[in-house]
Amino acid sequence: MCEGRTVIITGAGGGLGRAYALAFAAEGAGVVVNDIRQEAADAVVAEIAAAGGKALANADDITRMDGAQRIVDAALAAFGEVHVVVNNAGILRDRMFISLSEDDWDQVMRVHLKGHFCLASILGKRWRDQAKAGKRIAARIINTSSGAGLQGSVGQSNYAAAKGGIAALTLVQAAELGRYGVTANALAPAARTAMTESAMPDVVKAPESGFDAWAAENVAPLLVWLGSEASSHVSGQVFESQGGRISVCDGWRTGPQQDKGARLTPAEAGAMVDELMKQAVPAQKVWGT
């Protein structure tokens, strides 16, 4: 499905990123396995090569523009072009909101939000310039949100804020870059990774027998399809995926409304809110409540 395409995957030295890298390579893509742990990236590349695939290990910093440029340059040198970026890398600094330090906040924003910005910015400019020069573009940005970002999660306000920001970023990327042949979608995956095992080990534990719904490999097929040319008609969407399930997320939208047609008094505003709340669809519960 991805023969002749090149994909950069961040945080691909283990967990979901590794599963994505193996799946893309199995479908013919050249894969840049980016991870801050060089030895982990090398190990995934060795797996791909042993299976007959094409891959390159890279340990440059995704949170700096110069690091992101080196990743793109390495991909171009090895494979000639880049068609897909999968922004997957992430970290956790979990604490209740009032216990968060400034560094807890900044580190999560840097890796998740800025990490999603740098590569997509460099590649987006490249794809725009190519499209304006008359080249046919079929490029893909695939971002990583989370149920924490979509519904909130107790003890993860920094992570939830970053992942919610990524969902909104995806909508804007899709709206702005579609004219150049670029789609942007996001995934909120549910799988067993180092991050989820540290946060909820009992929930993601592998079963002794039967289908392992939390295996990272289950999420990879959707990523491969989104990264292929077959997905050109899908953009600006956030998907949830776990096991054999895929769901399309229904995000913030204007709901029930009333309009007085004139300035409200505070009492009128309160009465209007009470009436609207009777009509509104309840939000999903915050994780952990």
Is-catalytic flag, 205? Answer: no
**Global pTM exceeds 0.85:** yes
User: What are the mean pLDDT values of the chain's consecutive 10-residue runs (289 residues total)?
Assistant: 98 97 98 98 98 98 98 98 98 97 98 98 98 98 95 95 98 98 97 70 78 91 97 97 94 93 97 96 91
Catalytic residue among 20, 145, 157, 159: 159
Among the listed residues 145, 153, 163, 228, the single catalytic one is 163
Residue 146 annotated among the catalytic residues of the structure: yes
Task: Report pLDDT for 130.
Answer: 98
Q: Where are the alpha helices (DSSP H) in 80-156?
A: 102-108, 115-132, 147-151
Beta bridge partners of 35: none
In this structure, is the dihedral angle defined by the CA atoms of residues 7, 11, 17 and 21, taken in order, positive or negative?
A: positive
**48 Rama sector, left if φ>0, alpha if ψ -120 to 50, beta otherwise:** alpha
Asked: is 6-248 a CATH 3.40.50.1370 domain? The reply is no
114 is catalytic: no
pLDDT for res 209: 83
pLDDT at 148: 92
pLDDT at 84: 98
122/111 Cα distance (integer angstroms)? 17
Looking at residue 183, its amino acid is T
**For 208, which DSSP code?**
S
pLDDT at 201: 76
Tokens 């870059």 found at:
177
Write down the catalytic residue from 20, 145, 146, 153: 146
